[in-house]
Copies of this chain bind each other. A is one copy, B any other.
């Protein structure tokens, strides 16, 4: 296994990837904000299966954080990330500065309209604009054939797929199953914020999804019934404050009353001061 290459400059990354493409090599890309967990590594391992060259970006993107959100305290540990990425066979880490990504005169944004309206779009105005903008930039820099995202960020994945299709970007977006702790908690870099008691309460998120799956399997199709029961379960756990619990059409992400087509239960809950999200497509196995 060769030593992993670290690239900080956009120009260098572009010419490196352009040369790979010219040589007929396949590039797979995993955009991240760093502070890796097993979920990130599972995306990188998938990328390694698919491509000749795997590029991972580590960039805590300021434009996707609101003014009161955790941008400055978001966990960072580059040396640890570098070792973990190297251990699974990643070839290149793209690690740009804010100055490199958003110079002073920066003024361009990509908006995906409908699928970003509901869910986190309501509680985090501007968040998805930041996400789609940075992904557009990163795709133009890394020029990948495939880019791999986790399904834990269901709405993010939907927005990025929509952007790629609408703007005719010539790459394939791949969504991978949410990676969970042995007890079912969805892996997230933000889980490090949780105290021991909060960590225990956080299990209510996956608990609510399991309950919804059970009701669905028993034939329940009314969204409000499933949401009410999920709500009761989460409220019974200490330190929790519900942002939303919704059941949405998986392609439009609009609310559904009566489940007739593929639908997802998505939820966002504050546990102590930490906002966590999770989701599960109804009828799909929830591996937890």
Contact = CB atoms under 8 A, between A and B. Distances in A.
Contacts of A110: 108-111, 167
A233 interface: no
A110 B163 CA distance: 10
Interface string A136-150: 110011010000000
A14 interface: yes
Nearest to A17: B170
A162 interface: yes
A113 interface: yes
Q: Within the oligomer, what is the number of copies of this chain?
A: 2
A112 interface: yes
Interface string A203-239: 0000000000000000000000000000000000000
A140 B113 contact: no
A167 B111 contact: no
A137 B167 CA distance: 5
Nearest 4 pairs of A and B residues by beta carbon: A108-B166, A107-B113, A140-B168, A107-B114
Given A108-B132, A108-B166, 6 more contacts: A14-B168, A21-B21, A22-B24, A107-B113, A110-B110, A110-B167
